[in-house]
Amino acid sequence: MEAVTTPLAAPSPVPLDLGLYRELQRYGARDVSACFSCGTCTASCPLSQTDATFPRRIIRYAQLGMKDAVLSSKELWACYQCGTCAETCPTRADPSEFMAATRRYAIASYDRTRIARTMYTQPVLATVLAVVVALLFAAFMYAAHGPQSGETLAVFEFIPGHLIHDMGIAVMAIVVLAGLAGIATMARRIGRREDVGWGDVLGSRAALARSARAAWSAVGRESLGQAQFRAECDTGQEATPWYRRRGLVHALTVWGFLGLLAATVLDYGLDILGIKATGTPVPVWYPVRLLGTLAGIALVYGTSVLAIDRYRAANRAVTRSTTADWMLLGLLWVTGVTGFVLELALYLPGAPAWGYWMFLLHVAVAMELVLLAPFMKLAHAVYRPVALFYVALAKEAKP
């Protein structure tokens, strides 16, 4: 966030959307009308090193109804919600939570299906939907179920492996399409405001080099490495032991999730290459199984600590929670824990029958998690890197 002040070249007056503020409140934005733009949030923000307007400006946009400015803001996504500003704000306007709500609003706005909007603004309906989707997946798979072998836990005989694969590919296709559409909308908006076009990103060798560096910063350093989150945005947790700190716990959750995704894909890859058929029993040290186990430990540890901290409102970042927060944590945790129980069942003698049901639950919830990703909090995993790409690009000198 150093020196990322956006030059504003608005030639004509910005039309205001008087409904924006109320709309944001539907996404859980607290009342920020108390904010009088004093800038204490900016002064205390660990990310706002030279830009004198972050995050104050975002709140100002919302107060005034500058909808386009909000939806084309790359800075919105630079914040990791450490909560420092919520503590220092003299009017208790809670800028930190406001930024989070505005991100929810942005996710919903980039999604043209309006599913995300429903998920965020109608908590009861969203919860029912989550349960129903999981049940539908389970029912669909159960409808095609085979025998439950009593000798070894032959889960892919119980639920046909090809059915899971085909379902997975279909779900992935939906998710990728929805995700790409959202990313395109977001990138177009930010690009227009930042005056960054295709030419600036891909137009020349120098532009390509800049884009590559920005992409590395956004995807490599910040998304995979969680660098800034773990470093700058870890303030105020000096008294917390390192293994409970927000930055690390979030990173473990991310790494666990990505590790499990990698293990799943690798397992499929091994099957395609004919090295190991899916479902073949392997020892626990088998590399892919080991990766899955370790990633699973990371995910379950991460989501457990996040859930406990959130439940206890243990730090200033989680003083407030929404249904959307709990839903993501819940789905991740259930996916992780059912995976472990399933692994336990795999190595237990006598192929316990509950292992099959655990498998059905695990697959149903994992499918749901992936399917709903673009419409829930998990969507930040793709939107944030896009925004951070523009943040990094702005730091690169323009040709």
For another protein, the binding residues (CB under 8 A) are 8, 10, 12-16, 18, 21-22, 31, 33-34, 36-37, 53, 57, 60-61, 63-66
Query: In terms of CB distance, is 64 or 224 closer to another protein?
Result: 64
Query: In terms of CB distance, is 45 or 373 closer to another protein?
Result: 45
Burial (Cβ within 10 Å: 0-12, 13-18, ≥19) of residue 147: exposed
Query: In terms of CB distance, is 60 or 145 closer to another protein?
Result: 60
Which residue type is seen at 301?
Y
Report helix angle 246-272 to 287-312, nearest 10.
Answer: 150
Q: How far is the CB of 29 from another protein (least distance, A)?
A: 13
Query: In terms of CB distance, is 24 or 371 closer to another protein?
Result: 24
Query: In terms of CB distance, is 12 or 124 closer to another protein?
Result: 12
Residues 363 and 144: their CA atoms lie apart, in Å, by: 14
User: 273 CB contacts (<8 Å, ≥6 apart)?
Assistant: none
Q: What are phi and psi of 275, to 5 degrees?
A: -80, -45
Residues 55 and 43: their CA atoms lie apart, in Å, by: 10
Query: In terms of CB distance, is 26 or 245 closer to another protein?
Result: 26
Burial (Cβ within 10 Å: 0-12, 13-18, ≥19) of residue 166: exposed
Q: How far is the CB of 236 from another protein (least distance, A)?
A: 27
Say if CB 298 and CB 255 are below 8 A apart. yes
Q: What are phi and psi of 225, to 5 degrees?
A: -85, -20
Query: In terms of CB distance, is 51 or 325 closer to another protein?
Result: 51
Q: At 368, which helix (H) or strand (E)?
A: helix 353-372
Query: In terms of CB distance, is 97 or 368 closer to another protein?
Result: 97
Q: Give the other-Cβ count within 10 Å of 112's Cβ.
A: 11
Rg (CA), the chain: 23
SS3 111: coil
Q: How far is the CB of 32 from another protein (least distance, A)?
A: 10
Q: How far is the CB of 10 from another protein (least distance, A)?
A: 6
Residues 79 and 87: their CA atoms lie apart, in Å, by: 15
Q: Of 224, 193, 178, 180, whose CA–CA distance to 73 is shortest?
A: 193
Q: How far is the CB of 89 from another protein (least distance, A)?
A: 14
Query: In terms of CB distance, is 60 or 221 closer to another protein?
Result: 60
Q: How far is the CB of 2 from another protein (least distance, A)?
A: 18
Q: How far is the CB of 56 from another protein (least distance, A)?
A: 8
Q: How far is the CB of 356 from another protein (least distance, A)?
A: 55
Residues 366 and 342: their CA atoms lie apart, in Å, by: 13
Say if CB 257 and CB 332 are below 8 A apart. yes
Q: How far is the CB of 18 from another protein (least distance, A)?
A: 5
Residues 269 and 92: their CA atoms lie apart, in Å, by: 52
Q: How far is the CB of 33 from another protein (least distance, A)?
A: 5
Chain CA centroid to CA 357, Å: 28
Burial (Cβ within 10 Å: 0-12, 13-18, ≥19) of residue 89: buried
